[in-house]
Amino acid sequence: MELSEKLTRLPVFCREFFIGIEPRTSVLTRLNYARDLEIFFDFLQKNIPGFEYLDVSELTLTDLEKIKAADIEYFLSYLNYYEYKGVKYSNGERAKARKLSAIRCLLKYFYNKDKLSKNVASKVGTPKLHEKEIIRLNDNEVNALLNIAESEEKFDSDRQNIYNLNTRDRDIAILSLFLGTGIRVSECVGLNVSDINLEERAFVVTRKGGNRATLYFSQDVAEALENYIKARDKKLFQAGITDEDALFLSLQNKRISVRAVQKLVKKYTAAVNPIKEVSPHKLRSTYGTALYRQTKDIYVVAEVLGHRDVNTTKKYYAAISEDIKRAASNAAIWRKDKDDK
């Protein structure tokens, strides 16, 4: 869903907020903020005295001034189990932290603009985040994933196989790009054909905050992209479309959405390993780990992945410790006596 559509359901002041943060945030971040703020305002309307008679779209900065730190803390507790638009949800610590970040950013923005007298969100502590296992694909799973994507018949339904035949070149190119460059899903869907240089095996990507960076890809990725671009151009020519620059397209010949890419990644990876819940970000983790194994240089990994803080990158070489653990399991110190007999 486009941000402009979400804004129709949010207070008028949110438009100014999203325009103000646009230069330093990605499209995906702004979309997530919009959804999180919509949930927060819905909570206020349903649970906080003084807000119950107001429609969310009618809230003003005067209403925003009434919010207390205790209201935000109540909201974080509410997120344990809540219902939104008829669907029940349960948010963990990371989802809570993201929603708190959206609220903090909103209140801080208007506080700095002298449109709020205080920023009560600054008094609310961030939910404690526990380290979670980094999910990534191993080498065998990567090979299996690409083999499945390249196969003409891989699903039980004939209709599904026909659909996938129509999207095969595109899907292979997307998966190859994730696994071969580690780009973010928002960066992937934002690519244009004019950003790709097959001869130099390079492309220009728009990073978080709007910065542009040049990345490079392997011959395998180049072949996947070249095959897809040829199929894409042929399809557009047959449809009489000559002015579409978006690289990855839907079946309607429009720029593919983040949600569509997430669904296609989930579809293929579930066929490889139904136990692992793999998202585009997990493919990014897979690439980051592989790059660290090859270079042993955390700063190279940080640069390629576009991390501003190298501490963010450290999780990508966590898998190295797994190798050490496996090696340690073969030591079998307590069986030395048996070998000596």
Assess whether 130 carries a catalytic annotation.
Answer: no
Task: Please tell me the predicted confidence (pLDDT) of residue 66.
Answer: 92
CB 306 within 8 A of CB 213: yes
Choose the catalytic residue: 33, 99, 284, 287: 284
Sorted by where each starts, the structural domains of the chain and their CATH numbers stand as 3-123 (1.10.150.130), 139-322 (1.10.443.10)
Return the HEC string of 35-104: HHHHHHHHHHHHHCCCCCCCCHHHCCHHHHHCCCHHHHHHHHHHCCCEEECCEEECCCHHHHHHHHHHHH
Choose the catalytic residue: 255, 281, 314, 315: 281
Assess whether 184 carries a catalytic annotation.
Answer: yes
Choose the catalytic residue: 170, 184, 232, 282: 184
Task: Please tell me the predicted confidence (pLDDT) of residue 277.
Answer: 79
**Would you say the pTM of this structure is higher than 0.75?**
no
pLDDT (tens, 9 = 90+) of the chain, 341 residues, equals 577 788 888 999 999 999 999 888 888 888 899 999 999 999 998 999 888 777 888 889 999 999 999 999 999 999 999 988 888 888 888 889 899 999 999 999 999 999 999 999 999 888 776 656 667 788 888 888 888 888 765 555 556 656 667 789 999 999 999 998 888 898 999 999 999 999 999 999 888 777 888 889 999 999 999 999 999 999 999 989 888 999 999 989 999 999 999 999 988 888 888 777 788 888 888 888 888 888 878 788 888 888 777 766 766 565 555 554 555 445 444 444 444 44
Assess whether 255 carries a catalytic annotation.
Answer: no
Tell me the residue type at 310: V
DSSP line for 290-309: HHHHHH--HHHHHHHHT-SS
DSSP line for 91-154: --HHHHHHHHHHHHHHHHHHHHTTSSS--GGGGSPPPPPPP-PPP---HHHHHHHHHHHH-S--
Structure tokens at 183: 């780009």
Task: Please tell me the predicted confidence (pLDDT) of residue 329.
Answer: 46
Task: Please tell me the predicted confidence (pLDDT) of residue 302.
Answer: 81
CB 171 within 8 A of CB 149: yes
Task: Please tell me the predicted confidence (pLDDT) of residue 33.
Answer: 93
Task: Please tell me the predicted confidence (pLDDT) of residue 157.
Answer: 59
Assess whether 284 carries a catalytic annotation.
Answer: yes
Choose the catalytic residue: 104, 154, 208, 255: 208
Assess whether 15 carries a catalytic annotation.
Answer: no
Task: Please tell me the predicted confidence (pLDDT) of residue 341.
Answer: 47
Tell me the residue type at 49: P
Assess whether 316 carries a catalytic annotation.
Answer: yes
Helix (H, G, I), strand (E, B) or coil at 256: coil
Which uninterrupted H or E stretch holds 235?
helix 219-238
DSSP line for 9-45: TS-THHHHHHHHHGGGS-HHHHHHHHHHHHHHHHHHH
